[in-house]
């Protein structure tokens, strides 16, 4: 397979970036999208050029590091998938690809396709936890959790913190990310006690980080690689006393 790639190159956050076009040929269809970029980078090294920088780590869809907008879709247009889990066989009919970083003011570009998502860590630090002291936890089965709640909490907890929800949102809102953590902890008795305080702190921090507000476009749930539902936002609004 042969591809024409228009890749966003930007030296750093202070300098304007632009698309640069590359041609890459003879790509096997079982090659992953990131392996295709690896091969392109090997070619750039051979030509004495600086490599294209992009974030990745586990390459199995769980760490949340990878973050590319491909032909306008965060993580590509395949549903419930991270960029690292895209394979070139998914691009049989699109041989011209535009590859960009997440775009949001609260995720400033560091270089090329890499952005700074420290704002997500700051939101968790503001209250996204249960305040339990290490070593003083009660016997695990002393606290029963009905299976349905545990399963629902798990569904919210699978958020990998990649930021695709922000990247796709016209308001660059982090509401789905924030709501998923609030919902995960609120659905469990362990997290119930602090829920209001937690939700308010996290919401305030989201605003302080410069993320926009939710205006119900619902694009976020469509691009979420873990299929996190906007019903989490409803739950968050309930916790915040807005619904």
Partner 1 sequence: MSNLYSNEPTGPLEDRWEKHLFNLSLIAPQNRKKHKVIVVGTGLAGASLCATLGEAGYQVSSFCFQDSPRRAHSIAAQGGINATKNYQNDGDSVWRLFYDTIKGGDFRARESNVYRLAELSGNIIDQAVAQGVPFAREYSGYLANRSFGGTQVSRTFYARGQTGQQLLLGAYQAHSRQLENEHVSHQSRAEMLELIMVEDKARGVVVRDLVSGEISAHTADCVILCTGGYSNAFYLSTNAKGCNTSATWRAYKQGAYFANPSFTQIHPTCVPPTGENQSKLTLMSESLRNDGRIWAPKNIEDCEKNPADIKEEDRDYFLERMYPAFANLVPRDVASRAVKHICDQGHGVGSKIHGQRLGVYLDFSAIIEKLGLEAVAEKYGNLFDMYSSITGEDPYQTPMKIYPAPHYTMGGLWVDYNLMTTIEGLFAGGEANFSDHGANRLGASALMQGLADGYFILPKTVANYLANSNLVDVDDTHPQVTQSLKTVKDRIHQLMNAPTPKHSPEYFHQKLGKVLWEACGMSREADRLNQAIGEIAELESQFWQNIKVTGVDQDLNQTLERAGRVADFIELGKLMCQDALMREESCGAHARVEYLSESGEAKRDDDDFSFVGAWEYKPEQPMLRKEQLNYEFIEPTVRNYK
Residues 181-210 contacting partner 1, CB under 8 A: 184-185, 188, 190-191
Give the interface segment with partner 1, choosing from 68-76, 137-145, 169-177, 234-242 (CB under 8 A): 137-145
19 binds partner 1 (CB under 8 A): no
Task: Give the integer Cα–Cα distance in Å for 196 and 189.
Answer: 13
* Pair 3, 97: CB distance under 8 Å: yes
DSSP 158: T
Report how far residue 89's alpha carbon sits from residue 145's, in angstroms, rounded to the nearest whole number: 43
Q: Which residue from 5, 7, 34, 176 is in contact with partner 1, where contact means CB under 8 A?
A: 34
DSSP codes of every residue in 115-142: E--HHHHHHHHTT-S----TT-PPPGGG
The stretch near partner 1 (CB under 8 A) out of 94-102, 120-128, 167-175, 207-215 is 120-128
- Least Å distance, CB 192 to partner 1, is 10
Min dist CB 56 to partner 1, Å, is 6
Residues 212-231 that bind partner 1 (CB under 8 A): none
Which one of 18, 93, 141, 170 is in contact with partner 1 (CB under 8 A)?
141
Write out the binding residues for partner 1, residues 70-99 only, by CB under 8 A: 80-81, 85, 87, 89
Q: How far is the CB of 216 from partner 1 (least distance, A)?
A: 27
Dist CA 109 CA 125 (whole Å): 22
Q: Which of 68, 75, 102, 111 binds partner 1 (CB under 8 A)?
A: 111
What distance in Å separates the CA atoms of residue 9 and residue 53, rounded to the nearest whole number? Answer: 9
Candidates 18, 25, 48, 216: give the one binding partner 1 (CB under 8 A). Answer: 48
DSSP SS3 for 208: helix
The region that residue 75 occupies, defined by phi over 0 for left and psi between -120 and 50 for alpha, beta otherwise, is left
């Amino acid at each position: 397979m042969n591809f024409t790639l228009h890749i966003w190159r930007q030296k750093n956050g202070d300098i304007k970036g632009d698309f640069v076009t590359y041609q890459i040929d003879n790509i096997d269809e079982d090659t992953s999208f990131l392996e295709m970029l690896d091969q392109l980078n090997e070619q750039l090294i051979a030509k004495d050029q600086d490599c294209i920088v992009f974030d990745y780590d586990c390459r199995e869809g769980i760490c949340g590091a990878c973050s590319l907008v491909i032909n306008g879709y965060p993580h590509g247009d395949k549903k419930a998938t991270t960029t690292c889990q895209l394979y070139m066989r998914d691009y049989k009919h699109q041989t011209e690809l535009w590859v960009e970083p997440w775009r949001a003011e609260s995720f400033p570009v560091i270089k090329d396709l890499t952005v700074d998502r420290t704002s997500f860590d700051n939101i968790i630090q503001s209250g996204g936890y249960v305040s339990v002291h290490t070593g003083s936890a009660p016997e695990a089965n002393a606290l029963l959790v009905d299976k349905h709640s545990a399963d629902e909490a798990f569904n919210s907890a699978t958020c990998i913190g990649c930021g695709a929800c922000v990247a796709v949102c016209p308001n660059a809102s982090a509401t789905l990310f924030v709501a998923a953590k609030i919902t995960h902890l609120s659905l469990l008795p362990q997290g119930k006690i602090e829920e209001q305080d937690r939700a308010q702190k996290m919401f305030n921090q989201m605003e302080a980080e410069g993320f926009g507000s939710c205006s119900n476009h619902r694009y976020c749930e469509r691009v979420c690689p873990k299929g996190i539902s906007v019903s989490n936002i409803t739950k968050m609004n309930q916790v915040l006393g807005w619904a």
